[in-house]
Structure formats: C-alpha cells, structure tokens
Amino acid sequence: CSKEEGRNNYQIYDDTMSQGTYQQLVIETDLRSAMENQEFKVFYQLQVDVDTCIPSGVEALVRWQHPERGLVPPNEFLSIAEEMGLIVDIDDWVLRTACEQIKKWNDAGNALQVSVNISRKQFERKEFVDIVKQVIRDTGINPEHLKLEITENIAIINIAAAVKKLQALKQLGVQFALDDFGTGYSSLSQLKNFPIDTLKIDQSFVKNSNGHDEDAVIVKLIIAMAKTLNLTVTCEGIETEAQLAVIREEGCNHAQGYLFSKPVPAEALERMLLCGV
C-alpha cells in the first residue's frame, strides 16, 4: 500500500501491514494539518550554572498538542516529519517562536539565552544562514541570546561548507552547541576546526554513570577535552544530586535535567524564575 493511497484514508490497515506502518500513516496524515492548525507548542527547559545552580539559559523543545492523542513528544513524530520533509517547517517555526520569546523575556528584564535545536535537513538548506538572520532581524533580539544546537552528523558530508555557515552566524554573535556529544561519529581532530562554543554531553553517559564506571570516565574525558579546546560543557539528563556532584567535581559548566525542571510552557518557566528556582 503506497503512501499516496493512504493519504486521506484510515481504512487501509490490513493483515499485511504492521501496526508500526499503520501508526506512521496515521501520524503522517495528522502531521500535514498540524502546522496549519497551530498544534505545535514550544516548551522550555531550564539550564543552570553547575557551581551556583543559578539559571543560565533554557532549551526550546517542540511538542505536538494533538487534538485526540494529547501532548506528543518529539521522538514520536520528528523522524516521520523528517521523512516527509516537514522538519524544516517545524524548525523554522520553533526558531521564530523561540526568538519572539527571547524578545519578550529580554524586554521583561530576563536576559535568558535560549537554545534551539536545528535538524540536519534545516542546517543543510542553502538558505539556512539567511533564515536565521531574517528571524533575528524580524524579532529584534540580541543574537547573543540565541544558541543553536546542532549534531555531529551535519559535518559528515561537507565539513568546509558547515564551518562556513557556522562562522557566518557566529560573526553576528549567535552561539553554537554540539548536541548529544559522544553518540556520533565526529573525530576529535575534526572538532578543533569546528567553531562551536559548547559541548552537550549526551544524557546516556550521565544516566548510567555511578561516578566510578566507564561512563564516568567518558564524561571526565569529554570535559577535560572541552577545556583544552576552550569550549564550555553542558551535561543533560541530570536527575539526581549524586549525578550533579560528579559533573561538578569534573568542572562541567552547565547542567540541564529533571533535577532542576522538566520542559514546561513559557509561562510556567516564568513562574519558576520568579520564585527563584
């Protein structure tokens, strides 16, 4: 059964089609109207300074407020959106929404830096740099309040082209973080030619680490390497005081995780900041 046939048709499920494929078709159909129906939402998750626990920024994370299924997390729809080519529209919208939020917070006296995830497809568009510049102009933000999170795989095909894009935006003051670091394929020698500001250590290393095992050694090595390269380090997935103690000991700069806050709507984040969390 082709995608074409399934487009407006929920009855195509038969024995030969796996439940997974059927689910995917349903999601695809719904995703097509989600943007138009304004069903996407941006949530924000706090990042704190590891030494002081003072808020240092937030990460913008997309959610899909589905009319029947409720709040759908990105892992359940972004890969499908990517196959459909819709990911670039979602990334465009999240970027603009996050920058409008930066402006609002800044006007209210909260100079929070906001990190926005950029998919590989979005980064590889030839108009990527112009899109970011345009959003910065339209929203009137200070570019230093914007940090873009990219992953190692953006540089697999053409590292020179990737570096050029990074440099064009860095000139404006936009910062870059390498997300999920440690899970990809980038060689360490490549990293030194890559003009980024921050390494985000993937949560899998922190989660499994009890402070003495191999994962803890990896975390330690990544932090040491980042220091050598003059990069700041953010650890994501910090859920316990014990994990916080380990990364503090190793000199990690910023932390993000359920210990501080889950991703929440902008208004909830504002309430947290007001209460001095």
The residue ranges that bind ligand C2E (CB under 6 A) are: 45, 61-62, 73-75, 78, 91, 94, 117, 119, 149, 179-180, 203, 236-239, 256-258, 263
Of 28, 30, 149, 250, the one binding Mg ion (CB under 5 A) is 149
Ramachandran angles phi, psi of 115, nearest 5°: -95, 135
Nearest Cα to Cα of residue 134 among 90, 95, 89: 95
What gap in Å lies between CA 217 and CA 182, rounded to an integer? 12
Q: Which of 117, 175, 234, 256 binds Mg ion (CB under 5 A)?
A: 117
Taking the least distance from each CB to Mg ion, the nearer of 65 and 183 is 183
CB 119 within 8 A of CB 128: no
- Distance CA(193)–CA(215), nearest Å, equals 26
Interaction of residue 152 with Mg ion, rule CB under 5 A: no
Q: With respect to Mg ion, which residue has the nearer C-beta, 30 or 43?
A: 43
> CA 174: distance to chain centroid?
15
Q: Show the site string, 180-219: x = touches Mg ion by CB under 5 A, - = not.
A: x---------------------------------------
The site partner of 253 among Mg ion, ligand C2E, none (C-beta below 5 to 8 Å per kind) is: none
Q: Which of residues 156-185 bind Mg ion (CB under 5 A)?
A: 179-180
What is the enclosing helix (H) or strand (E) of 250?
Answer: helix 241-250
How far apart, in Å, are the Cα atoms of 147 and each of 53, 102, 129, 140? 20, 11, 14, 15
**Tokens 């590989």 label which residue?**
120
Q: Counting contacts by CB under 5 A, is residue 28 touching Mg ion? A: no
Q: The tokens 């995703």 sit on which residue?
A: 31
Using CB distances below 5 to 8 A depending on partner kind, what does residue 257 bind out of ligand C2E, Mg ion, none? ligand C2E
Contact residues toward Mg ion (CB under 5 A) are: 117, 149, 179-180
